């Protein structure tokens, strides 16, 4: 290690590991005034390597503690330490004007109150977020993207106590200049977690994320400005194009299987409105077929096959893994979904297509990855000029039910939402035609 004044390495005493550094020790000599005499003392504090991410991090912590304690032990923050300076704190203070002496003593008292805490950099606190906040792995991956772009370069090596409200606001403004308000809000939340970890560690710091206002943003996702629905005609055109997509040779079995399974899945999602995460964990044991009698408009009765699908799991991430089967998003998402004859026909077609237990699976019978579905739908959308993505199918389900006057309580149950407001406000949308018809057919009170 490079020599650091007043910092010493403590080596391991375990046989065969004598060269391993187990701690860095801060040792600073100083004088304590006792009446008319001076007592020479020594400040000592250990920084165990095992308590930090790396040995280098432990050394940085020790160096910060040394730099913090030297002025305190000498009695005044502004005086630079000099090993040849033998003045006591009282002697230094006695040389200063009375007003300044009172201010310095007050500041020293505050410093001594906070001696117990150990300061950390923004990077160190970000690395500690998983240990203090229980979130799924995919969530931490998204945090990592934001941290790298908007926080790491400018603030990673800065002590959290040195972060100002201007720093937080500056990073939020940088994000808002290119991202939506919703995405910027997530960055604000990330700052809150960094400050939160600091406070949990006993660092006396203000959470500036709770003070700053979220910057305005004129950025919008393309989806938010367009109708969240698709006509049946356009959807069938998309499916027809997708059925032929790729011009795969018969030998390209994996690509053909992937295309066909995704096509069957989005057709089923179009009818039922289930989440993509839910569709990919449906297995054969979740499906029950039965025959019902339907009354026709002309008075005749016909027998047809319908189905029931039990939704009790979904695909997602856990605290430690990505793309695994887990419990549904909410308790309300566990439901038995009635499936129309068209949906039952798709289920039968899928079950006949392969012998695997998972219905909408990959070529080997495993879970179908989100990236595979998203990239395939994006490629087909680009080729045929009709945009289809997984969430659109769920939004269109809610919008169609709303347009047809379906009881919101029924929509909530079918979609597995916590509340009717979620089904209506976040998913159901009015089409341009609905808006036009209302304005053209406005009825006034008679």
Residue 219 lies in a domain: no
Judgement on whether residues 81 and 192 belong to the same structural domain of the protein? no
Please compute the mean of the pLDDT values over residues 18-30 and round it to a whole number.
87
Pairing of strands 301-311, 287-295: antiparallel
Please compute the mean of the pLDDT values over residues 155-181 and round it to a whole number.
90
**Domain termination residue (choose one: 113, 145, 163):** 113
Please compute the mean of the pLDDT values over residues 244-266 and round it to a whole number.
94
Residue 378 lies in a domain: yes
pLDDT in tens, 356-401: 999 999 999 999 998 899 999 999 999 999 999 998 998 888 888 8
Q: List Cα–Cα distances, 42 to 6, 38, 413, in angstroms.
A: 11, 13, 70
Please compute the mean of the pLDDT values over residues 313-341 and round it to a whole number.
84
Q: What is the pLDDT of residue 80?
A: 41
How many structural domains compose the chain? 3
Residue 46 lies in a domain: yes
Q: What is the pLDDT of residue 85?
A: 40
Computed over every residue of the chain, the mean pLDDT equals: 82
> Which residue range(s) make up the domain with 182?
122-210
**Domain termination residue (choose one: 87, 113, 139):** 113
Please compute the mean of the pLDDT values over residues 274-282 and round it to a whole number.
94
Q: What is the pLDDT of residue 317?
A: 75
Residue 446 lies in a domain: no
**Domain termination residue (choose one: 113, 148, 174):** 113
Q: What is the pLDDT of residue 107?
A: 59
pLDDT level of residue 115 (50, 70, 90 thresholds)? very low
Judgement on whether residues 270 and 412 belong to the same structural domain of the protein? yes
Q: List Cα–Cα distances, 33 to 22, 36, 73, 89, in angstroms.
A: 35, 7, 11, 8
Judgement on whether residues 382 and 430 belong to the same structural domain of the protein? yes
Judgement on whether residues 302 and 422 belong to the same structural domain of the protein? yes
Say if residue 250's pLDDT is above 70. yes
pLDDT level of residue 76 (50, 70, 90 thresholds)? very low
Q: What is the pLDDT of residue 133?
A: 86
| CATH number of domain containing 414 | 1.10.443.10
Say if residue 83's pLDDT is above 50. no
Residue 434 lies in a domain: yes
Q: CB–CB of 200/220 below 8 Å? A: no
Q: What is the pLDDT of residue 439?
A: 62
Say if residue 355's pLDDT is above 50. yes
Judgement on whether residues 78 and 35 belong to the same structural domain of the protein? yes
94-108, 170-184, 186-200: range with highest mean pLDDT: 186-200
147's tokens? 């941290």
Between 294 and 334, the more confident residue is 334
Rounded percentage of the chain residues whose pLDDT exceeds 90: 38
Say if residue 89's pLDDT is above 60. no
Please compute the mean of the pLDDT values over residues 311-337 and round it to a whole number.
84
Q: What is the pLDDT of residue 72?
A: 74
Residue 445 lies in a domain: no
Residue 317 lies in a domain: yes
Judgement on whether residues 79 and 161 belong to the same structural domain of the protein? no
Judgement on whether residues 239 and 368 belong to the same structural domain of the protein? yes
Q: CB–CB of 415/423 below 8 Å? A: yes
Q: Which of 79-93, 175-189, 385-399 has the lowest mean pLDDT?
A: 79-93
The DSSP annotation for 279-332 comes to: HTT-BGGGEEEEEEEEE-TTS-EEEEEEEEEEE-EEEE--SS-SSEEEE-SSGG
Q: Which of 64-78, 191-205, 208-222, 423-437 has the lowest mean pLDDT?
A: 423-437
Judgement on whether residues 17 and 73 belong to the same structural domain of the protein? yes
Say if residue 319's pLDDT is above 60. yes
Say if residue 185's pLDDT is above 80. yes
Judgement on whether residues 402 and 280 belong to the same structural domain of the protein? yes
Q: What is the pLDDT of residue 84?
A: 40
Judgement on whether residues 312 and 386 belong to the same structural domain of the protein? yes
Say if residue 245's pLDDT is above 80. yes
Judgement on whether residues 192 and 255 belong to the same structural domain of the protein? no
Q: What is the pLDDT of residue 435?
A: 59
Q: Kindly report the number of other CB atoms within 10 A of residue 152's CB atom.
A: 15
3-state secondary structure string, 209-223?
HHCCCCCCCCCCCCH
pLDDT level of residue 424 (50, 70, 90 thresholds)? low
Please compute the mean of the pLDDT values over residues 244-258 and round it to a whole number.
93
Q: What is the pLDDT of residue 429?
A: 60
Q: Kindly report the number of other CB atoms within 10 A of residue 168's CB atom.
A: 24
Helices (DSSP H) in 367-425: which residue ranges? 370-384, 390-403, 408-415, 420-421
Residue 201 lies in a domain: yes
Helices (DSSP H) in 114-227: which residue ranges? 122-127, 129-132, 137-147, 153-155, 165-176, 181-200
Judgement on whether residues 200 and 337 belong to the same structural domain of the protein? no
């Amino acid at each position: 290690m490079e020599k650091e004044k007043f910092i010493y390495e403590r080596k391991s005493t375990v046989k065969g590991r004598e060269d391993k550094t187990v701690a860095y020790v801060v040792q600073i000599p100083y004088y304590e005034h006792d009446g008319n005499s001076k007592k020479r003392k020594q400040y000592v504090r250990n920084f165990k390597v095992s308590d930090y991410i790396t040995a280098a991090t432990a050394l940085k912590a020790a160096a910060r503690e040394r730099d913090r304690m030297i002025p305190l032990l000498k009695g005044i923050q502004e005086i630079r330490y000099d090993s040849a300076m033998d003045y006591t704190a009282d002697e230094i203070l006695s040389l200063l004007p009375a007003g300044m002496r009172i201010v310095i003593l007050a500041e020293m008292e505050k410093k001594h109150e906070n001696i117990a805490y150990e300061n950390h950099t923004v990077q160190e606190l970000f690395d500690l977020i998983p240990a203090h906040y229980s979130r799924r792995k995919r969530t931490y991956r998204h945090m990592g993207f934001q941290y790298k772009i908007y926080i790491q370069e400018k603030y990673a090596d800065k002590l959290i106590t040195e972060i100002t409200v201007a720093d937080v606001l500056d990073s939020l403004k940088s994000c808002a200049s290119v991202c939506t308000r919703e995405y910027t809000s997530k960055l604000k939340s990330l700052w809150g977690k960094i400050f939160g970890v600091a406070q949990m560690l006993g660092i006396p710091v203000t959470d500036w994320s709770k003070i700053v206002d979220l910057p305005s943003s004129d950025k919008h996702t393309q989806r938010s400005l367009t109708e969240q629905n698709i006509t049946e005609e356009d959807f069938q055109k998309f499916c027809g194009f997708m059925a032929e997509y790729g011009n795969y040779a018969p030998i390209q079995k994996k690509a053909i299987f992937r295309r066909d399974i995704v096509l069957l899945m989005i057709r089923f999602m179009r009818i039922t409105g289930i989440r993509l995460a839910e569709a990919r964990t449906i297995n054969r044991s979740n499906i029950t077929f039965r025959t019902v009698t339907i009354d026709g408009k002309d008075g005749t009765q016909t027998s047809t096959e319908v189905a029931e699908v039990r939704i009790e799991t979904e695909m997602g991430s856990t605290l430690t893994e990505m793309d695994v089967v887990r419990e549904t998003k909410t308790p309300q998402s566990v439901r038995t979904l009635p499936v129309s004859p068209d949906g039952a026909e798709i289920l039968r077609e899928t079950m006949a297509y392969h012998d695997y237990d998972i219905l909408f699976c990959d070529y080997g019978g495993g879970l179908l990855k989100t990236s595979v579905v998203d990239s395939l739908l994006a490629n087909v959308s680009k080729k045929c000029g009709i945009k289809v993505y997984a969430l659109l199918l769920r939004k269109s389900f809610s919008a169609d039910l709303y347009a047809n006057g379906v009881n919101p309580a029924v929509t909530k149950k079918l979609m597995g939402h916590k509340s009717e407001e979620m089904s209506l406000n976040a998913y159901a949308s009015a089409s341009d035609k609905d808006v036009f018809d209302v304005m053209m057919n406005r009825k006034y009170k008679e």
